[in-house]
Amino acid sequence: MIENKVFSKKPYQRPLSNDFIHAVKLNQMEKVTILLEKNRYLVFDFDFYNMTGLHWACKKGLVEMAELLIKNHADVDAVDILHRTPLYLAIQGEHLTLVEVFQYLKLDSFKEQSISLVDLLH
Protein backbone atom coordinates (compact mmCIF):
# COMPACT_ATOMS: atom_id res chain seq x y z
CA MET A 1 0.00 0.00 0.00
CA ILE A 2 1.32 3.44 -0.92
CA GLU A 3 1.21 5.82 2.03
CA ASN A 4 2.36 8.97 0.23
CA LYS A 5 -0.01 9.40 -2.67
CA VAL A 6 1.26 11.96 -5.15
CA PHE A 7 -2.00 13.80 -5.84
CA SER A 8 -4.62 14.75 -3.27
CA LYS A 9 -8.27 14.61 -4.20
CA LYS A 10 -9.49 17.20 -1.69
CA PRO A 11 -8.23 20.60 -0.54
CA TYR A 12 -5.69 20.40 2.26
CA GLN A 13 -6.07 16.61 2.32
CA ARG A 14 -2.46 15.84 3.17
CA PRO A 15 -1.00 16.60 6.62
CA LEU A 16 1.00 19.85 6.51
CA SER A 17 -0.62 21.03 3.26
CA ASN A 18 -2.33 23.95 5.02
CA ASP A 19 1.00 24.98 6.58
CA PHE A 20 2.72 24.62 3.21
CA ILE A 21 0.30 26.80 1.24
CA HIS A 22 0.22 29.38 4.04
CA ALA A 23 4.05 29.51 4.08
CA VAL A 24 4.09 30.01 0.30
CA LYS A 25 1.62 32.90 0.58
CA LEU A 26 3.84 34.53 3.22
CA ASN A 27 6.97 33.94 1.11
CA GLN A 28 8.60 31.87 3.86
CA MET A 29 11.26 30.21 1.72
CA GLU A 30 13.00 28.37 4.55
CA LYS A 31 9.76 26.94 5.94
CA VAL A 32 8.61 25.85 2.47
CA THR A 33 11.97 24.14 1.88
CA ILE A 34 11.72 22.29 5.20
CA LEU A 35 8.14 21.20 4.49
CA LEU A 36 9.12 19.93 1.03
CA GLU A 37 11.96 17.96 2.61
CA LYS A 38 9.40 16.33 4.91
CA ASN A 39 7.01 15.58 2.06
CA ARG A 40 7.93 16.38 -1.53
CA TYR A 41 4.35 15.83 -2.67
CA LEU A 42 3.11 18.93 -0.85
CA VAL A 43 4.03 20.82 -4.02
CA PHE A 44 0.90 19.30 -5.64
CA ASP A 45 -1.53 20.17 -2.83
CA PHE A 46 -4.20 22.82 -3.24
CA ASP A 47 -6.64 24.96 -1.30
CA PHE A 48 -10.42 25.39 -1.56
CA TYR A 49 -9.96 27.35 -4.81
CA ASN A 50 -7.84 24.53 -6.26
CA MET A 51 -4.89 26.91 -6.12
CA THR A 52 -1.52 25.26 -5.56
CA GLY A 53 1.48 26.90 -3.97
CA LEU A 54 2.69 27.80 -7.45
CA HIS A 55 -0.61 29.54 -8.20
CA TRP A 56 -0.18 31.66 -5.07
CA ALA A 57 3.47 32.45 -5.77
CA CYS A 58 2.57 33.62 -9.28
CA LYS A 59 -0.45 35.60 -8.10
CA LYS A 60 1.69 37.43 -5.54
CA GLY A 61 4.71 37.89 -7.83
CA LEU A 62 7.02 35.78 -5.65
CA VAL A 63 9.72 34.94 -8.19
CA GLU A 64 12.13 33.03 -5.95
CA MET A 65 9.28 31.06 -4.41
CA ALA A 66 7.91 30.14 -7.84
CA GLU A 67 11.38 29.05 -8.95
CA LEU A 68 11.74 26.89 -5.82
CA LEU A 69 8.38 25.24 -6.45
CA ILE A 70 9.13 24.66 -10.13
CA LYS A 71 12.50 23.11 -9.23
CA ASN A 72 10.56 20.80 -6.92
CA HIS A 73 8.37 19.67 -9.83
CA ALA A 74 5.27 21.80 -9.24
CA ASP A 75 2.61 21.26 -11.89
CA VAL A 76 2.98 24.35 -14.06
CA ASP A 77 -0.18 23.47 -15.98
CA ALA A 78 -2.44 23.02 -12.93
CA VAL A 79 -5.73 24.90 -13.13
CA ASP A 80 -7.66 26.43 -10.27
CA ILE A 81 -11.43 26.48 -9.83
CA LEU A 82 -11.67 29.24 -12.47
CA HIS A 83 -9.40 27.30 -14.88
CA ARG A 84 -6.48 29.70 -14.39
CA THR A 85 -2.92 28.44 -14.61
CA PRO A 86 -0.01 29.88 -12.62
CA LEU A 87 1.20 31.55 -15.82
CA TYR A 88 -2.19 33.21 -16.29
CA LEU A 89 -2.02 34.64 -12.76
CA ALA A 90 1.50 35.95 -13.38
CA ILE A 91 0.30 37.69 -16.56
CA GLN A 92 -2.83 39.03 -14.86
CA GLY A 93 -0.72 40.48 -12.05
CA GLU A 94 1.76 41.94 -14.55
CA HIS A 95 4.60 40.05 -12.89
CA LEU A 96 6.85 40.20 -15.93
CA THR A 97 9.82 38.49 -14.31
CA LEU A 98 7.65 35.46 -13.59
CA VAL A 99 6.29 35.47 -17.12
CA GLU A 100 9.89 35.46 -18.35
CA VAL A 101 10.67 32.52 -16.04
CA PHE A 102 7.86 30.55 -17.66
CA GLN A 103 8.99 31.61 -21.11
CA TYR A 104 12.58 30.65 -20.32
CA LEU A 105 11.44 27.22 -19.21
CA LYS A 106 9.69 26.85 -22.57
CA LEU A 107 6.52 25.57 -21.01
CA ASP A 108 3.75 24.03 -23.05
CA SER A 109 1.88 27.32 -23.29
CA PHE A 110 4.76 28.76 -25.28
CA LYS A 111 5.79 25.58 -27.13
CA GLU A 112 2.46 24.96 -28.79
CA GLN A 113 1.94 28.52 -29.96
CA SER A 114 4.18 31.17 -31.38
CA ILE A 115 3.62 33.76 -28.65
CA SER A 116 5.95 36.58 -27.77
CA LEU A 117 6.05 38.34 -24.43
CA VAL A 118 4.83 41.53 -26.13
CA ASP A 119 1.81 39.72 -27.60
CA LEU A 120 0.91 38.28 -24.19
CA LEU A 121 0.79 41.65 -22.51
CA HIS A 122 -1.39 43.36 -25.12
Domain assignment present for residue 23? The answer is yes
- For residue 114, is pLDDT > 90? no
Domain assignment present for residue 103? The answer is yes
pLDDT per position as a tens digit, 36-63: 999 999 999 999 999 999 999 999 999 9
Q: pTM here?
A: 0.83
Torsion of CA 22, 71, 41, 89, to 10 degrees: 50
Residue 44 DSSP label: G
Look over the chain and give the mean of its residue pLDDT values, rounded to a whole number.
88
- For residue 120, is pLDDT > 70? no
| C-alpha span between 60 and 57 (Å, rounded) | 5
CATH number at residue 31: 1.25.40.20
Instruction: Identify any residues that bridge with 46 across adjacent strands, giving them in sequence order.
Output: 52
**Full domain range(s) for residue 32:** 17-120
**Domain total of the chain:** 1
